[in-house]
Amino acid sequence: MSSIYQHFRKEEKEFIDQVLGWKSDVELMYAQKLTDFLDPRQRFILESLIGSTGDILVSFAGGEGAERKRALIYPSYYSPTQEDFQLQLLEIVYPSKFVHVEHKHVLGSIMALGVKREKFGDILFTDEMLQLVVAKELSSFMMMNFTQIGKSSIKVNEISWDQYLPSNEKWQERFVTLSSLRLDVVMAGVLNLSRQKAKLLIQAGKVKVNFREVDNTSFECAEGDMLSVRGLGRCRIGEIEGKTKKDKWRLNMYILGG
């Protein structure tokens, strides 16, 4: 068992144990297990532990191009449907002509209601429309209680998935070669910053890894990590292909501009 943990971070042990528990339950009960919304790194861990060819499989859903998705773990003989993921798409109606609303305003207002972050998925914007993906069991609560963003009154409606607004974000795939997987090195190499600039941003609390602030410049990055830098954009680590002949790491990155 300890050999499993060595492939991941120490702070991820609790989630690894949870995944192994889910897998064991599915094996014993021959029934599917639906999770809350998971971030990209959690999905990477889950896929790594479940695998793709055994008696237990995993699928994800949360909307096209979504960052946060629910996972369904199930016996290989089962064929999942969209309904299995128990997702609800909500439309948030607000006075868009008079009020400027950003992602952080919506997120803060939802969290202020006491809703746990893992119970809802992506927040989707266009110029005049705002949508939210939630666990179906949360839908009625949101329609009754989510009535304001800041000082602006809003109305929340359930809508069908054929009205879903896929993200218009354009991610660019890029291969990079880096001297190490330290956070400051990855940031500098991917975002075309100096190493010193990257360190200052990290130490100033402007960098998040998997949606959590990290102020340690030597933090070791890994596959599936989502990095975001305030004002500069986001990037996600795809596959770490290993080292080159010159002992440098070769990474497959997905980059979104700020």
Q: Give the pLDDT confidence of 194-210 residue by residue, as tens digits.
A: 999 999 999 999 999 99
What fold, for 10-84? Ribosomal Protein S8; Chain: A, domain 1 (3.30.1370)
pLDDT at 169: 67
Match domain 172-257 to its CATH number in 3.40.30.10, 3.90.1150.10, 3.30.200.20, 3.10.290.10: 3.10.290.10
- Contact between 70 and 135 under an 8 Å Cβ cutoff? The reply is yes
Q: Can you tell me the mean pLDDT for 159-177?
A: 85
β-pairing, 155-159 vs 207-209, is: unpaired
What fold, for 87-163? Alpha-Beta Plaits (3.30.70)
Q: Can you tell me the mean pLDDT for 108-134?
A: 91
Contacts 24+ apart (CB under 8 A), 175-181: 175/250, 175/251, 175/252, 175/253, 176/250, 176/251, 176/253, 177/244, 177/248, 177/249, 177/250, 177/251, 178/248, 178/249, 178/251, 179/248, 179/249, 180/249, 181/220, 181/221, 181/222, 181/240, 181/249
All structural domains of the chain with their residue ranges:
10-84, 87-163, 172-257
Q: What angle do CA 12, 14, 19 make, to 5 degrees?
A: 95
> Average pLDDT of the chain?
91
Q: Can you tell me the mean pLDDT for 37-56?
A: 91
Q: Can you tell me the mean pLDDT for 144-156?
A: 93
pLDDT at 257: 54
- % of the chain beyond a pLDDT of 90: 72
Which residue, chain included where needed, has tokens 């369904």? 72
pTM for the complete prediction? Answer: 0.84
Rounded Cα distance between 139 and 57, Å, is 28
Q: Can you tell me the mean pLDDT for 201-220?
A: 93
Strands (E), the chain: 33-38, 56-61, 69-75, 87-93, 120-125, 130-135, 148-149, 152-153, 155-159, 172-178, 207-209, 212-213, 226-229, 233-243, 249-257
pLDDT at 170: 74
258 pLDDT higher than 50: no
Q: Which range is least confidently modeled, 50-54, 133-137, 178-182?
A: 50-54
Rounded Cα distance between 245 and 239, Å, is 18
For the beta carbon of residue 122, count every other beta carbon within 10 angstroms: 19
pLDDT at 225: 93
Handedness of CA 98, 150, 133, 48 (dihedral sign): positive
Rounded Cα distance between 123 and 68, Å, is 10
* The two domains 87-163 and 172-257 share their CATH topology (first three levels equal): no
